[in-house]
Amino acid sequence: MAAPDAGFADPVLRLSTAYYRTIVAHCYDGLPDEACGLLAGPVDADGHPKGLVSAVYPCVNADASARTYTVESRDLLHAMRDAQSRGEDLIGVWHSHTHSDAYPSDTDVRQALEPSWVYALVSLKHAEPVLRSYRIREGVVAECEVSLTDS
């Protein structure tokens, strides 16, 4: 889709190498279905993610599907409570694409209901996994940089 409108900030998704490995491992563990999980981190005064991921929550794909995902409601509740107990919020979601590129599908765009969230996708299409992240607001997809850190 086209570039986002003015005011659509694209944060850098800062993810530790350990969290990256947790996400990718969960995606492989979910095969042949899509896997999913939630991201937590600090937010600014307006409730927008600052981009730092402070916790990852591997979740059950309630759809049990290779084409769609829905985060299991109990996993969502657990992640929300844990993030809030640390004074943080859920800042995004990730899921895998088992046979396609790490780009939001039409279904992903339709289901992106949290405009401040980061949507990370892991493609397992090739020998090496590819993780990319996006902001999706009102059907507009904008890619965010992913920065892996050692901390």
Q: Is 3 contained in some domain?
A: no
How many domains are there within the chain? Answer: 1
- Report whether 94 contacts 87 (CB < 8 A): no
Mean pLDDT of the chain: 90
Q: Is 7 contained in some domain?
A: no
Q: Is 8 contained in some domain?
A: no
Strand, coil or helix: 59: strand
- Residues 29-51 as b or e (16 or more Cβ within 10 Å = b): ebeebbbbbbbbbbbeeeebbeb
Q: Is 4 contained in some domain?
A: no
Backbone Cα Rg of the chain: 14
CATH number at residue 142: 3.40.140.10
Q: Is 2 contained in some domain?
A: no
**What is the Cα–Cα distance from 43 to 136, expressed in whole angstroms?**
17
Tens digit of pLDDT for each residue in 97-145?
999 999 999 999 999 989 889 999 999 999 999 999 999 999 999 999 9
- For 74-129, strand residue ranges (E) read 89-97, 118-123
Other CB atoms within 10 A of residue 86 CB: 12
Tens digit of pLDDT for each residue in 12-58?
899 999 999 999 999 999 999 999 999 999 988 888 888 899 999 99
In Å, what is the CA distance from 7 to each residue of 4, 35, 137, 141?
8, 31, 11, 14
Q: Is 5 contained in some domain?
A: no
pTM: 0.90
Q: Is 1 contained in some domain?
A: no
Output the pLDDT for position 8: 44
Give me the domain span that covers residue 56. Answer: 13-149
pLDDT value at 7 more than 60: no
In Å, what is the CA distance from 11 to each residue of 25, 29, 54?
24, 29, 15
Q: Is 77 contained in some domain?
A: yes
Q: 108: which 2 tokens? A: 């992903």
- Report whether 79 contacts 59 (CB < 8 A): yes
